């Protein structure tokens, strides 16, 4: 057993100022508030300004997380940004965040695992911390999805929004006198055979363009319910924790009906779920840390509680983490 625990020492988020309601969207897309709400639970989304890059959103979320952790940028040894909308093809968005917050030279890179990106990044940071390589890591999910939505495809463009969520993960010595804290178990998986269900139809080595989001909604829905629930079963089993002990389920915010179906499979009461989809829409890798931050700031999530995070997205890739906050 590791003698170092990976604890969440700070959480922060940032949403761009521009709020676009379903009614606003219906002025330029052939859709209606009633359709979007009843199919997805989304009421509005935030869109970044033209001159606001993913690293700007990420850096703002990072500042809030550092503030809550009581740490300075100089304390950070590792920055991982999970994103599918990087500032540039290279270098990583993480180095721009490093530069923008004034963090010293250290490890910085991006993760591409779409909506599961925050969980992939968390898992990697956890390994850096528990092996003693670094003390404090910034793990950020940040997306400017509005830059590659197809406004002619009403089945996808109404579902997504922009935003960023960040956590500071810190290594603390484990103490045998009390129950384990921080990350208790993680689980990751991906199945490339399912990639045609959710992808961007562009890229540097294929089209030389960014592409637009393409999705087979029904297949994504079916797989999301199956794999998000399965990922929660997996981490509770790995940590030998009963699902009834979970205080808060913080799922990826893609569709309220996916979340409700998962809750049913997991026999989790809906009052134990943090739901932000109505206000944020689907912000891909940012959705879980944005929801965690919302739950902490409104006083629902408290220190010592047991949280389970789970997400699925393009890849298809999915994952989960069980955390004693």
Catalytic position from the list 22, 123, 223, 282: 282
In angstroms, rounded to a whole number, what is the distance separating the alpha carbons of residues 52 and 135? 31
The CA–CA distances, whole Å, from 95 to 10, 238, 253 equal 20, 34, 27
139 part of the interface to ligand COA, by CB under 6 A: no
Stretch touching ligand COA by CB under 6 A, among 51-59, 167-175, 219-227, 264-272: 219-227
Contact assessment for residue 96 and residue 60, using Cβ atoms and an 8 Å cutoff: no
Identify the bridge partners of residue 143 per DSSP, sorted by sequence position. 163
Q: Of residues 115, 136, 197, 255, which has the active-site annotation?
A: 115
DSSP for 234-258 reads HHHHHTT--GGG-SEEEE--S-HHH
Shortest distance in whole angstroms from residue 50 CB to ligand COA = 24
Residue 89 DSSP SS3: coil
Contact flag: residue 287 with ligand COA (CB under 6 A): no
Nearest-5° Cα angle at 143, 137 to 148 = 155
276 interacts with ligand COA by CB under 6 A: no
**β pairing state of 107-111 and 182-190:** unpaired
Alpha-carbon dihedral sign for residues 250, 252, 256, 258: negative
Residue 254 binds ligand COA (CB under 6 A): yes
Exactly one of 46, 64, 252, 280 is catalytic; name it. Answer: 252
Site for ligand COA in 303-322 (CB under 6 A): 313
Kindly state whether residue 154 participates in binding ligand COA, applying the rule CB under 6 A. Answer: yes
- Chain centroid to Cα 192, Å, comes to 20
Nearer to ligand COA, 77 or 315 (CB): 315
* Catalytic residue check, 115: yes
Q: Is 197 a catalytic residue?
A: no
Q: Is 27 in the site for ligand COA (CB under 6 A)?
A: no
Q: Which of 17, 27, 193, 218 binds ligand COA (CB under 6 A)?
A: 218
Smallest distance from the beta carbon of 287 to ligand COA, in angstroms?
Answer: 9
- 280 catalytically annotated: no
- What does the DSSP 8-state code read for residue 98? H
In the complex with ligand COA, the residue whose CB is nearer, 6 or 85, is: 85
Residue 121 vs residues 80, 96, 176: alpha-carbon distances, Å: 6, 17, 28
Residue nearest to ligand COA (CB): 217
Strands (E), 16-106: 18-21, 44-47, 78-82
Binding test (CB under 6 A) with ligand COA, winner from 158, 231, 266, 306: 158
Which positions are annotated as active-site residues?
A: 115, 252, 282
Question: Where do contacts with ligand COA occur on this chain (CB under 6 A)?
Answer: 31-32, 35-36, 39-40, 115, 154-155, 158, 215, 217-218, 220-221, 224, 254-255, 258, 282, 313
């Amino acid at each position: 057993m590791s003698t170092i625990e990976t604890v969440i020492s700070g959480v922060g988020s940032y949403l761009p100022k521009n709020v676009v309601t379903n009614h606003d969207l219906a002025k330029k897309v052939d859709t209606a508030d009633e359709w979007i709400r009843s199919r997805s639970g989304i009421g509005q989304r935030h869109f970044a300004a033209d001159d606001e890059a993913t690293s700007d959103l990420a850096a703002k979320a990072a500042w809030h997380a550092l503030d809550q952790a009581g740490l300075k940028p100089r304390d950070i040894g590792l920055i991982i940004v999970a994103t599918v909308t990087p500032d540039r093809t290279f270098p990583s968005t993480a180095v721009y965040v490093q530069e923008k917050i004034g963090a010293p030279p250290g490890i910085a890179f991006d993760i591409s695992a779409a909506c599961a990106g925050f969980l992939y990044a968390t898992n990697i940071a956890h390994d850096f911390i528990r092996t003693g390589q670094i003390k404090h890591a910034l793990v950020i999910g940040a997306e400017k999805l509005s830059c590659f939505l197809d406004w002619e495809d009403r089945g996808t463009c109404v579902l997504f929004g922009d935003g960023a969520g960040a956590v500071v993960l810190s290594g603390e010595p484990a103490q045998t006198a009390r129950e384990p804290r921080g990350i208790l178990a993680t689980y990751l998986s991906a199945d490339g055979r399912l990639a045609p269900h959710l992808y961007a139809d562009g890229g540097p080595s294929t089209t030389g363009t960014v592409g637009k989001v393409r999705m087979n909604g029904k297949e994504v829905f079916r797989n999301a319910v199956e794999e998000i629930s399965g990922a929660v079963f997996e981490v509770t089993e790995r940590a030998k924790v009963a699902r009834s002990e979970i205080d808060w389920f913080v799922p990826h915010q893609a569709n309220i009906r996916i979340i409700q179906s998962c809750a049913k499979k997991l026999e989790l009461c809906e009052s134990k779920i943090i739901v932000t989809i109505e206000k944020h829409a689907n912000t891909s890798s940012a959705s879980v840390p944005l929801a965690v931050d919302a739950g902490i700031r409104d006083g629902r999530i408290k220190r010592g509680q047991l949280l389970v995070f789970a997400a699925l997205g393009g890849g298809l890739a999915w994952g989960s983490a069980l955390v004693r906050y």
